[in-house]
Amino acid sequence: MTDSKVLLFYKFAPLADPLAVKMWQKALGEKLGLRGRVLISKDGINGTLGGTVQACKAYVKELKSYPPFAGVDMKWSEGSGIGEDGFSRDFPRLSVKVRDEIVAFGAPGELKVGPDGVIGGGIHVKPDEVENLIHDNPDLVFFDGRNKVEWEIGRFEGAIVPDTTTTHDFIAELESGKFDDIKDTPILTYCTGGIRCEVLSALMKNRGFTQVYQLDGGIVRYGEKFGNSGRWQGSLTVFDNREVVDFEGEAAKLATCHTCGAAAGRLHNCDEPSCRTRVPVCEDCLSKPAYCDEHAALAV
């Protein structure tokens, strides 16, 4: 089996011709035999791709040769291998699309992006700066920028977890009034690789939150630095066939298995064919049918 890698990356930068960038990215991915998803908008690029080590290295080199993407932060992780067809086992195909937003909050006209990235977002905090931030701000709260199924299996200790099924739900949550009591409290937003917090922190500031920070590089960079010994607890949801990853050894199991009720740290697609919801399951139930709350009656 050929060694494989998964790349996770984004770069906010104004793009004059997103369609031309799409055509370049599609051709490049096909040439290198990569699979995964790449989204492009007038505000930049957001992607996760898998392939051989050599193909991933070649991709990164060419991506960074394009001036708007020169400073892109590439997050590397181990893939599940290369199949007999020569492609990554972690993705079914290569998809490259142009969208209004490279992360879909439903606010394309609100986000402002310049050559240096998002304008008016939160203050970036590197993983090794988190403890100093807490020391200087004892009332600091962690604010999860992901969706319910993600924070169910892994989250920062004591984090606020908004009631969101999709990223589109965040604006309604922020405007609901339920977080008005922390508008003047120091807030550290976090998400998988950092991109959702780039947007979320700006949306929060636009709605009156006054002390907003964002975890630079997201949970991925924090986990690389601290493993299971820091404030992160549980497993990290990823959006490829691996479903979840752990930073080291045995991670805490925070969720409840939808099949048997045991402690769970893995995910399973709802077995109702038309449903795209993922639900937490334990290791013993990974191969058993599992259903989301909406389709739970089918399990009878």
- Burial of residue 236 (number of CB atoms within 10 Å: 0-12, 13-18, 19+): buried
Q: Which two tokens stand for residue 211?
A: 């002390």
In the chain, what is the straight-line distance between the N-terminal and C-terminal CA atoms, in Å? Answer: 41
CA dist 18 to 8, 14, 27, 94, Å? 20, 9, 14, 18
Look at residues 280, 248, 250 and name the one whose alpha carbon lies nearest to residue 265: 280
How many Å separate Cα 101 from the centre of its chain? 15
CA dist 270 to 32, 153, 218, 288, 294, Å? 33, 16, 27, 11, 10
Look at residues 75, 95, 88 and name the one whose alpha carbon lies nearest to residue 11: 75
The β-bridge relationship of strands 154-156 and 141-144 is unpaired
Sign of dihedral through CA atoms 257, 262, 265, 266?
A: negative
Question: Within 10 A of 151 (CB to CB), how many other CB atoms are there?
Answer: 21
- Residue 28: which H helix or E strand, with range? helix 18-32
Catalytic residue check, 56 = no
Q: 191, 197, 257, 282: which one is catalytic?
A: 191
- For 296, phi then psi, to 5°, come to -60, -30
Catalytic site residues?
191
